[in-house]
Chains A and B, each alone.
Chain A
């Protein structure tokens, strides 16, 4: 289970002083801070798929990166508990318990998938033979036997995506954090990802994912958090969100939510 309490991330952005017309000489670059993630609290339990929705620049990626231990928050905390309910404290152990996948997590192009999984497995502390056995299983499940020994740079987009899934499977983490995993994929590859998420849910894993595809989220997610300007605008099951906004699909609900919030 992963829980986020009052998570904040402060960024610095520089902006040229706006009143250049009046005071032409004072064209200093002004540095200001803003909260990309503003006191967000999220709870995700075992066997749940949680959707994080929001327009570009809402802070989804920053939020997920902090949850994936890639960034450190400027406020609040991310609490991870294992199956027995004990808190995981150490950073490397936290990282081991989280499978993070996004468009930016590329694989070593000069490795073959098999070599890559071998490296990963040993890094996660499994012994060599076990890693070999698991790699074979994963290849079978993901139907990757045909290209397991090709270098990753030679693989097609869909094959690479499957290799990325294989990466996550090798570690077999508690929590999956997927940042727009289906972005730019064809229908077959996207379906493979969706299938993968469902399967992990059935195995009792926690899945958090962000997406722009509302129809996909509507059928897939158990609960949804809507984010805007770093804050949670609304959350609940898809059905509850639709009921709350009086709409019959998530896309319409999205529009209603963001318009009302923007009007305020």
Chain B
């Protein structure tokens, strides 16, 4: 940890002394953005003000001079609508149209109707403008004729309008402001962060290689992970600072515009900054995570390059892809939902749009950040592996590197290291989000089974690949004698405590508890056998393999290997806590975290004590089966175990449960503890 600190200090100093980075980081945001924005607005303003003074010329057939005169009369009557001068010029056949903004031709068809045709140039601003004016004028003239005609028939104008339709825009001005500019601000922010990350990323990877200092760095007593992690953190810090500076300078320019040159334009939108204050922490977090993600992305490409030039080549496609992805916010119909939230970069862009239009969902924003964080971790893991490979350093770029050890090179009985385990969980997590949610959407209830199969498959694949000794790693043993009773008692006791805890949590997070119930409602419709199979049996096997088998087993084995002299209990505690924490996070619910954590720790402890995963599989099955039974047959369960059904517990019940829990868990502990080898 200390070494990482020293390395980060060194990287920062090195980066900050590079002129190119400094220019990108400070000069561009502070000078270029205001110049661009203010300059653009000024130019736009001057264009608009010159266009106001222009008078338009429209050519027409001399034949229909009387119609044109009527049109002019209409325009003169409504001076608000037609506030600019339009000069009508009668033109002969084949007359030049070079000086005309538009031409107006009339024709009387066989029914005696007058047809007007406006010819204009859609690329010229004046021509398009006058075209619209003429259209309005003709429409006005039509109405006038209609009213006159009706008057002849002794009819009122209202005769034509037996029904009147009006539309009201529900969206507040602030919201429409967000939709219209939120997307582009999101895109600008993403590109700014990426730009900020780009140069330091190149400098610390390809630059270091080019300067020949990487080989020196490799001679130092630091691990590859420390090296790549400190580089990554430094790049991310620079990216954040750049983004912050850009944001400040952007905001400054906009404020300058509001209070200076073009005040009315912006104020018109009625955009209230105060409403955004609540979203600020999430925005800040998003910026941080985006900085991490773009740093990781940049470094991922630059690592392969041997020189600045090469790195620039590699990064160009990345830039293009990110730019396009970040434009998602500008598409009108694309919103941040359960699917778009899963695409990195795109989700940030859409989130920015949401924030600025003040329809902000904390849950979706949180998921978006979680996804981006996962992707970043994955990339960094990948990078650490890459730096491991000396080919990257001594051979040419992409050629002949191997990310994974070839399976034939894996020694038999290898324990996956902690990084491998975490990678498996991250991959699984992403799989669940992408494949799992797609499967659920398509297959409904059976989609859950797909997810469960993935949970089962990932750990099994990993241990197959690593040729691990599954029996030891997964504790596939019969339980030690006399430990089963202790485990059951301990489980029952903990269950009592968890019940009290979840009632307490229900008070704290009422909404998310409702969400949980909502999520289970489609399941309750299925036959109970299926429910037992998919929601109780499959998780009992898959999750136990993953968390108690792979994770607890590997982390503990690795700890023991690394600390041969320390007491083995410490390793077990360490492995129990970590596997339980991941188990808790894995269930993707803030409210359920504490209870699942407790349950995860309990199961890991039982595996540790009994030496058998079958015990926890059984308990896990029972645990899920009971809660499914409660869901499916509330009345029947209520008769047998009434306290399971109650939303609120009375004081007596709480005390009773607590006491029962402590007694049972204590008994269980005693029974399990006694059977120490």
Give residues in A with beta carbon < 8 Å to B: 12, 65, 68-72, 91-93, 95-96, 98-100, 102, 104-111, 115, 119-120, 122-124, 167
- With A108-B213, A123-B3, A167-B216 given, is the CB distance from A92 to B390 under 8 Å? no
- Tell me the bound Cα distance from A68 to B220 in angstroms: 10
A105 touches B223 (CB 8 A): no
B6 touches A95 (CB 8 A): no
Tell me, yes or no, whether B10 is within 8 Å of chain A by CB.
Answer: yes
Closest 7 CB pairs of A and B: A106-B212, A96-B221, A110-B17, A105-B216, A92-B221, A100-B219, A95-B221
- Tell me the bound Cα distance from A205 to B315 in angstroms: 46
- Tell me the bound Cα distance from A51 to B175 in angstroms: 76
Tell me, yes or no, whether B218 is within 8 Å of chain A by CB.
Answer: yes
Question: B80-121: which have CB < 8 Å to A?
Answer: none
- Tell me the bound Cα distance from A69 to B224 in angstroms: 12
B18 touches A70 (CB 8 A): no
- A selection of 24 A-B contacts at a CB cut-off of 8 Å is A69-B219, A70-B393, A91-B223, A92-B223, A95-B221, A96-B221, A99-B219, A100-B219, A102-B215, A104-B212, A105-B215, A106-B215, A106-B216, A108-B211, A108-B213, A109-B211, A110-B13, A110-B18, A115-B13, A119-B6, A123-B3, A123-B220, A124-B220, A124-B221
B219 touches A68 (CB 8 A): yes
- Tell me the bound Cα distance from A102 to B218 in angstroms: 13
| Residue of B6, B13, B221 with most partner-chain A CB within 10 A | B221
* Chain B 2-37 interface mask (CB, 8 Å, partner A; 1/0): 010011011001100110000000000000000000
- With A12-B400, A119-B10, A123-B3 given, is the CB distance from A95 to B212 under 8 Å? no
- Give the contacting residue for B6; candidates A92, A96, A99, A122; CB below 8 A: A122
* Chain B 187-229 interface mask (CB, 8 Å, partner A; 1/0): 0000000000000000000000001110110111111000000
Whole-angstrom distance between the Cβ of B223 and the nearest chain A Cβ: 6
- With A70-B215, A104-B215 given, is the CB distance from A95 to B220 under 8 Å? yes
- With A92-B223, A110-B18, A123-B3 given, is the CB distance from A70 to B213 under 8 Å? no
Number of residues on chain B facing chain A (CB within 8 A): 24
| Residue of A95, A119, A123, A167 with most partner-chain B CB within 10 A | A123
- Tell me the bound Cα distance from A108 to B400 in angstroms: 29
Q: What residues of chain A lie closer than 8 Å to B393, measured between beta carbons?
A: 70
Whole-angstrom distance between the Cβ of A138 and the nearest chain B Cβ: 17
Tell me, yes or no, whether B404 is within 8 Å of chain A by CB.
Answer: no
- Tell me the bound Cα distance from A69 to B220 in angstroms: 10
Q: What residues of chain A lie closer than 8 Å to B394, measured between beta carbons?
A: 65, 71
Q: What residues of chain A lie closer than 8 Å to B221, measured between beta carbons?
A: 92-93, 95-96, 123-124
Q: What residues of chain A lie closer than 8 Å to B219, measured between beta carbons?
A: 68-70, 95, 98-100, 105
- Tell me the bound Cα distance from A119 to B9 in angstroms: 9
- Tell me the bound Cα distance from A80 to B318 in angstroms: 44
B213 touches A120 (CB 8 A): no
Whole-angstrom distance between the Cβ of A65 and the nearest chain B Cβ: 8
Whole-angstrom distance between the Cβ of A260 and the nearest chain B Cβ: 32
Q: What residues of chain B lie closer than 8 Å to A102, measured between beta carbons?
A: 215
- Tell me the bound Cα distance from A107 to B219 in angstroms: 12
Q: What residues of chain A lie closer than 8 Å to B218, measured between beta carbons?
A: 70
Whole-angstrom distance between the Cβ of B562 and the nearest chain A Cβ: 10
- Tell me the bound Cα distance from A98 to B219 in angstroms: 8
| Residue of B7, B13, B216 with most partner-chain A CB within 10 A | B216
Whole-angstrom distance between the Cβ of B211 and the nearest chain A Cβ: 6
- Tell me the bound Cα distance from A107 to B400 in angstroms: 28
Q: What residues of chain B lie closer than 8 Å to A108, measured between beta carbons?
A: 10, 14, 211, 213
B390 touches A111 (CB 8 A): no
In the complex, residue of chain B having the shortest beta-carbon distance to the beta carbon of A121: B6
Q: What residues of chain B lie closer than 8 Å to A71, measured between beta carbons?
A: 390, 394
- Tell me the bound Cα distance from A72 to B218 in angstroms: 12
Q: What residues of chain B lie closer than 8 Å to A96, measured between beta carbons?
A: 221
Question: B218-268: which have CB < 8 Å to A?
Answer: 218-223
Q: What residues of chain A lie closer than 8 Å to B215, measured between beta carbons?
A: 70, 102, 104-106
- Tell me the bound Cα distance from A68 to B215 in angstroms: 11
| Residue of B6, B223, B400 with most partner-chain A CB within 10 A | B6
- Tell me the bound Cα distance from A96 to B223 in angstroms: 11
Whole-angstrom distance between the Cβ of B379 and the nearest chain A Cβ: 24
In the complex, residue of chain B having the shortest beta-carbon distance to the beta carbon of A153: B211
Q: What residues of chain A lie closer than 8 Å to B390, measured between beta carbons?
A: 70-72
Whole-angstrom distance between the Cβ of B208 and the nearest chain A Cβ: 9
Whole-angstrom distance between the Cβ of B282 and the nearest chain A Cβ: 37
Whole-angstrom distance between the Cβ of B424 and the nearest chain A Cβ: 24
A120 touches B13 (CB 8 A): no
In the complex, residue of chain A having the shortest beta-carbon distance to the beta carbon of B400: A12
In the complex, residue of chain A having the shortest beta-carbon distance to the beta carbon of B390: A71
- Tell me the bound Cα distance from A175 to B269 in angstroms: 72
Whole-angstrom distance between the Cβ of B610 and the nearest chain A Cβ: 34
A107 touches B223 (CB 8 A): no
A107 touches B14 (CB 8 A): no
In the complex, residue of chain B having the shortest beta-carbon distance to the beta carbon of A94: B221
| Residue of B3, B9, B10, B400 with most partner-chain A CB within 10 A | B10
- Tell me the bound Cα distance from A99 to B219 in angstroms: 8
In the complex, residue of chain B having the shortest beta-carbon distance to the beta carbon of A69: B219
A123 touches B14 (CB 8 A): no
- With A91-B223, A92-B222, A123-B221 given, is the CB distance from A107 to B216 under 8 Å? yes
B3 touches A107 (CB 8 A): no
- Tell me the bound Cα distance from A174 to B400 in angstroms: 34
- Tell me the bound Cα distance from A95 to B13 in angstroms: 24
Q: What residues of chain A lie closer than 8 Å to B9, measured between beta carbons?
A: 119
